[in-house]
Chain A
């Protein structure tokens, strides 16, 4: 077992520096061969800062090749407050993608994060289609996704695209279920064979997927027809390009740091040669000045200085600030109890007066997601005791309960007295909808009565929504955590 792990890690360490590889080589090209360049990025997650370099790089490639197509393999949204908090959420990256002249995008799970109505608006503003063959909306829902798309080049060569979205174990894309109401999803691997006809309907057949690398590999087992799979979702930077069932599978990391370039030779209606690799956008020396001006305009967005509420008094110290954060977390359905760790509170004081979006990201800058667990009182005790003993002091600030850590003379937590807001004890054995940050969920030891699931909202977003809804925040002096020696 150890040898196998060492082999994989050795492989990784060798190929990470050698991105160029021919993944499939056919016979020498006939004279009437067309060179087609496919460029694909995935999981940009609203990171717009790289666009000036990226567009310059794409333009440079276009200046050298007549036939260049540019794709996104999904998840363009969510991950940058400049884009996520823009009044028309997500619009800045749509404008930049239009400027870059994208030809098509796969629909990723995070495309639903702003809600269906907003997604519909963004689709209308995009100069490129949003594709997915396994997202199905009913007739009265204006949100529609093309299952496939065929692009005809100037010389008549047809490039067919098919797209699929990832589904989790609940049969839904990874976004909050409330944003997916009224939409049905079918499994990509069972849906794909219905589109086998596309292979014969086009000269070049591309699967532009948002399934994750390992599911793309499985796709090649049931659907070995594409000339290449350009994928997304797992943020896999393919450093070791290879084929699976004779299909090259590529993915370009995330955040627009890399782009997949696939150079295809097409003759007599089929691909005769294909080379694929990932390019590092950050090493490109050119800058598109028009895109730079647009990115600077968005980064200077006064919306981040928008006042979303007012602090009635100074909200100072971890107790008050932690309580504010957890009150916001607990306001997200279906949560009734929430915990925030001390290390995640990054300012000492939220001064009396206006609160802006920037203030929220200074207080809670990490982008942690809100994770939902069903926890019994004993589970909650184990979380609190382990957190206290890990830090040797109070570490978790709650909403929905107050608690007193009971320590032995050596200062080790041995028990916790938990109280509900009305002073009563929690019901033994009852499971409470409890929220913690993804950092606490993954780094802290505690028993749990459910596997847990992300609510696909970052804690800062819950705080922005909470302050907006409350308008006047009065957490000053709040204290919900106490310590008592046995």
Chain B
């Protein structure tokens, strides 16, 4: 299913959880997956628990200390 993390669109398997999506985001953007994943939020600023289930085309946001809003 299609997902967005920090506005980056990518595909992930059906049934993926928030932590799976965050890991896949790092893989997709060719970054090392951190040992401790950052907290994730929905578009309304609510906290998403790591084991939370995802909806198709959901938009998820995470803190990235070095992220400037652009990805090559």
Q: Which A residues have a C-beta under 8 Å from some C-beta of B?
A: 1-6, 8-9, 11-12, 15-16, 43, 45, 79, 109, 166, 168-170, 174, 212-215, 233-240, 242, 251, 253-255, 369, 371, 373, 438-439, 441-445, 451-454, 456
Contact = CB atoms under 8 A, between A and B. Distances in A.
Nearest to A4: B7
Nearest to A368: B20
Given A9-B61, A12-B47, A254 B68 contact: no
Contact of A169 (B1, B6, B46): B1
A238 B70 contact: no
A169 B21 CA distance: 17
B1 A234 contact: no
A465 B55 CA distance: 30
Contact of A453 (B14, B51, B52, B53): B14
Interface in B17-72: 17-21, 23-24, 27, 33, 39, 41-49, 51-56, 58, 61, 63, 67-70
A214 B69 contact: no
- Residue from A212, A242, A255, A373 whose CB has the most chain B CB atoms within 10 Å: A212
A254 B51 contact: yes
B56 A169 contact: yes
B3 to A, nearest CB: 11
Contact of A168 (B14, B17, B18, B41): B14
Nearest to A242: B44
Interface residues of B, number: 41
B40 to A, nearest CB: 9
A41 to B, nearest CB: 13
B65 to A, nearest CB: 11
- Residue from B18, B23, B44, B68 whose CB has the most chain A CB atoms within 10 Å: B44
Given A169-B1, A442-B23, A443-B27, A236 B42 contact: yes
A437 B11 CA distance: 17
Given A5-B7, A9-B41, A235 B27 contact: no
A1 B7 contact: yes
B45 A441 contact: no
24 contacts: A1-B7, A2-B69, A5-B61, A174-B14, A174-B53, A213-B44, A234-B52, A234-B54, A234-B58, A235-B49, A236-B42, A236-B46, A236-B52, A237-B48, A239-B47, A242-B44, A253-B49, A254-B52, A441-B13, A442-B21, A453-B14, A453-B15, A454-B13, A454-B16
A169 B11 CA distance: 13
A5 B42 CA distance: 11
A442 B16 contact: yes
B15 A454 contact: yes
Nearest to B11: A451
- Residue from A45, A233, A237, A444 whose CB has the most chain B CB atoms within 10 Å: A237
Contacts of A254: 49, 51-52
B42 A214 contact: yes
Given A6-B69, A254-B49, A451-B13, 18 more contacts: A4-B7, A9-B63, A11-B44, A11-B45, A12-B39, A45-B51, A212-B55, A214-B55, A233-B53, A234-B58, A235-B18, A239-B45, A239-B47, A255-B49, A438-B20, A442-B12, A451-B1, A453-B15
A213 B39 CA distance: 17
Contacts of B42: 213-214, 234, 236
A150 to B, nearest CB: 29
Contacts of B33: 443
Nearest to B12: A442
A253 B6 CA distance: 21
Contacts of B58: 214, 234
Contacts of B24: 442-443
Nearest to A172: B14
A442 B16 CA distance: 8
Contacts of B56: 168-169
A240 B46 contact: yes
B10 to A, nearest CB: 11
A452 B13 contact: yes
B70 A2 contact: yes
By Cβ-Cβ distance, the 4 closest A-B pairs, closest first, are A2-B69, A454-B15, A235-B52, A452-B13
B23 A443 contact: yes
Nearest to A233: B53
A2 B64 CA distance: 11
Contacts of A212: 53, 55
Given A169-B14, A443-B23, A451-B11, A237 B53 contact: no
A451 B45 contact: no
Contacts of A1: 7, 69
Contacts of A240: 44-46
A369 B11 CA distance: 18
B49 A8 contact: no
Contacts of A166: 53, 55
Nearest to A168: B14
Nearest to A11: B45
Contact of B46 (A9, A109, A239, A451): A239
A74 B55 CA distance: 16
